[in-house]
Amino acid sequence: MAAFKELHSRYAPNICGVIHTILRNRERAEELTQDVFVKIWDYRFSYDASKGRFFTWILNIARNAAIDELRSKSHKEQQLNLHTTFFVDMAEEQEEQTFGVDMNRVKGLIRGLGKKCHQIIELLYFKGLTQKESSDFLDIPLGTVKTRVRNCISRLRKNLVY
């Protein structure tokens, strides 16, 4: 249990950030983050390290939980589809604080990342699309998805240094 507490303190902020970007609801994001960790515990034996990073495995669980939640709520209000944007909206937000998020910090991290970067990060990281799905959606070659995400994340990593 001590090890799981360590995992929780290490990964919970990112999980909560991803869920919150999708839901834009602080309370639900916190609740769902808890749900995700309970689920991680329940299914801990099914994690297969040969299939990928633990980070990626729990990212998938979090994304699915958040998008399921959004689907169950939005079917009356608006159609949730591939054009619905989460991260792109946040990235283009002009306020210093939105939905409780410190935008100065976010802006510092994504400084120099253009719209195409916001978009590719949205699809791959927040929506969990595959390379092929992203390629189809953006109508760009598979290889371009790879090089674009490489460039965008390299820029993000440079910003981390400061």
Among 88, 109, 138, 140, binds other proteins (CB under 8 A): 109
156 binds other proteins (CB under 8 A): yes
| Contact pick of 15, 32, 66, 70 for other proteins (by CB under 8 A) | 15
Residues whose CB is less than 8 angstroms from the CB of residue 119 and which lie 6 or more positions away in sequence, other chains included: 88, 138
Q: Say whether residue 52 binds other proteins (CB under 8 A).
A: yes
Name the DSSP letter for residue 94.
Answer: -
Single residue of 3, 46, 77, 162 touching other proteins by CB under 8 A: 46
119 binds other proteins (CB under 8 A): no
Write the single-letter amino acid at 61.
I
The mark string for 57-96 relative to other proteins (x by CB under 8 A, - otherwise) is --xxx--x----------------------x--x------
Between CA 32 and CA 62 the distance in angstroms is: 8
Q: Is 62 buried (19+), middle (13-18) or exposed (0-12) by CB count in 10 A?
A: buried
